[in-house]
Amino acid sequence: MTAMRMETDGLGTIEIAPDAVWGSQTQRALENFPITGVSISHYPELIVALAAVKKACALTNRDLGRLSARKTEVIAKVCDEILDGHHHEHFVVDVMQGGAGTSTNMNANEVIANLGLRALGADIGDYGQLHPNDDVNRSQSTNDVYPTAIRLAVLARINPLRDAMRTLSRAFHERAEVFDPVMKVGRTQLQDAVPMSLGAEFRGFGTTIDEDCERLDDLSRLLMEVNLGGTAIGTGINAPERFGETAIAHLCEITGQPLVPAADLIEASSDLGAFVMFSGTLKRIGIKLSKICNDIRLMSSGPRAGIGEILLPPVQAGSSIMPGKVNPVIPEVVNQVCYQAIGNDLIVTMAAEAGQLQLNAMEPVIIHKVLETMGSLTNAMTVLSERCVKDIVADEERCRALLENSLVKVTELAPVIGYEAATKLAKYAQINGLSLHNAVEPALSDDQAKVSLEHLTFGHTGGVA
C-alpha cells in the first residue's frame, strides 16, 4: 500500500492520500461533513468564482507590496487554469458544512497552494515556499471571500436561466399565433365562463414568463455589491489600506461583472437580504410555472373522458399495465421542480434569519439551495419548451364541440336582453340539456328570442353556441 502523507496543523497531525493536492483543513472537512454527498465542485460556477477572487486578491497583494511577484505569478497561473475548467475535481468538501464556508475557502487555498508548489517543482505540502494561509489567503478572510464568491456564482447562473425562460416564452408565443383562430371555453373556478381563443390562453403563458425575466435583471444588481476587503467582520483587519477597492477592480476585470464595494462592510458581512429577495423571485418563477403546467395537464386531460382541448407530444409510455396510455410526464416533472424551488426558498429564508451578530454561519446551505433551484429551473424550462410546448397540437374539433355545447355565450346576451332574461335562458338550457341556440325560442319572448338568435349567430367572439 502507498504510504499516506502526513500534515500537521493547530489540531494535530492528520493522514492525507499521497496524490491529494489538498491539505489538512480540507481533509478534516471531508471527515467532519459527510452530509449530502454533493461536493462544491458540483457547482463549477462556485469553483470559478473562488479562483477569480483568489487571483484578484493575489494581484492586489502584489500591487500593495504584500506578496512577491514570483508568488503572485504562480497563484495567478493556477487560478487561470481553474478559471479554464481545470482542477475542479480537487474541490472535494461537501457543499453543506459548518463554519460559514471556511472549509470551502481552505479547500481553495490548499489546492491553489499545492498546485502552485507543483508548478514550482516543490513537494506538495512544502508550505515554506507557498502557504495556503500566509500567501493564497493573505489579506483575506472566509467571511469576505466566501460571500463574494457565492454572489459571483449566482450571477454566473443568471444568463442560462434567463435564456431558458426566454426560449420557453417564445415557444408559448409561437403556439399562440398558431392557436389564435381556435375558439374554446374559458373557465373560472373550473366552471364554464366565457369564450376565448386558445391562442390568447397560450399568449398569457408566455407573458407571465416574460415578466420574471425583468425581475431577474433587477435583482442581479443587488448581488453585485460585495464585501471583499472587509475580512473577518467588515473592519478590514489584516488587510492593507485600499485593499478592498483594488481587489474589486481586479475582480471586475477578471469576471466581467460590474461589482461594487458594499457601502457598509460590517452590514454586508452579516446581511443576506439579497439572497432572500433573489430566492423569493425563484420561488415566484416556480409558482407561476407550476400553475402553467397544471393548466396544460388539465387542458390535455382525457384524451376522451376529460377536457382534451390540446394534445401533448407522446414522449414516454404512460403505464406498465394500461396499453396505449400516455401521461403528461413533462409538465409533471416540471411541477416537481417547482415544488423544490418553493421548498428551497423556505430553507433560504430560515438560514438568512439565523444569522447572529457579525456573521451568518448558514451561508453554505443558502448557496447550495439557490444554485440547486437555478439549475433545476433552467433544465426544467428547457425540457418543457423542447419536449412539450413546441409540439403541442390543438384538438380543434373538441374545442368547437365543447364551446357549442356550453352556455358560455349567455354572458354576451346579458347586455342585449338583460341579466334576468339571460339567466332564465341559461337555466332552461341547462335543465333541458339544450344548447343556448336551441333553448332561445322556448325560453324567451319572441322579441328577446329574435335578438338573441342574431347575436348568437353573429357574435363578435365567433362560433355558434
Catalytically annotated residue among 290, 319, 385, 452: 319
* Identity of residue 359: L
Q: How many CB atoms lie within 10 A of CB 315?
A: 15
First CA to last CA distance, the chain: 84
Q: How many CA atoms lie within 13 A of 158 on its CB side?
A: 24
Q: How far apart are CA 353 and CA 359, in angstroms?
A: 11
Ranges of beta strands (E only) in 18-107 are none
Quick check: 402 and 463 in contact, CB under 8 A?
Answer: no
State the chain's maximal CA–CA distance in angstroms: 104
Q: Report the sign of the C-alpha dihedral through residues 58, 59, 60, 64, in that order.
A: positive
Q: Report the sign of the C-alpha dihedral through residues 18, 19, 24, 30, in that order.
A: negative
Grid coordinates 454566473 are at which residue?
156
Helix (H) or strand (E) holding 217: helix 198-220
Q: What DSSP letter does each residue of 250-309 carry, written as one string? A: HHHHHH----EE-S-HHHHHH--HHHHHHHHHHHHHHHHHHHHHHHHHHHT--SSSS---
Quick check: 75 and 116 in contact, CB under 8 A?
Answer: yes
Active site residue 41: no
Quote the cell numbers at residue 265: 462592510
Quote the cell numbers at residue 411: 354572458
Quote the cell numbers at residue 368: 447550495
Three-state secondary-structure class, residue 186? strand
Q: How many CA atoms lie within 13 A of 303 on its CB side?
A: 17
Quick check: 62 and 128 in contact, CB under 8 A?
Answer: no
191 Cα distance to chain centroid: 33
Quick check: 338 and 286 in contact, CB under 8 A?
Answer: yes
Q: How far apart are CA 161 and CA 219, in angstroms?
A: 13
Residue 191 dihedral angles phi and psi, to the nearest 5°: -115, 150
Quick check: 255 and 152 in contact, CB under 8 A?
Answer: yes
Would you please indicate which residues are annotated as catalytic (active-site) residues? 319
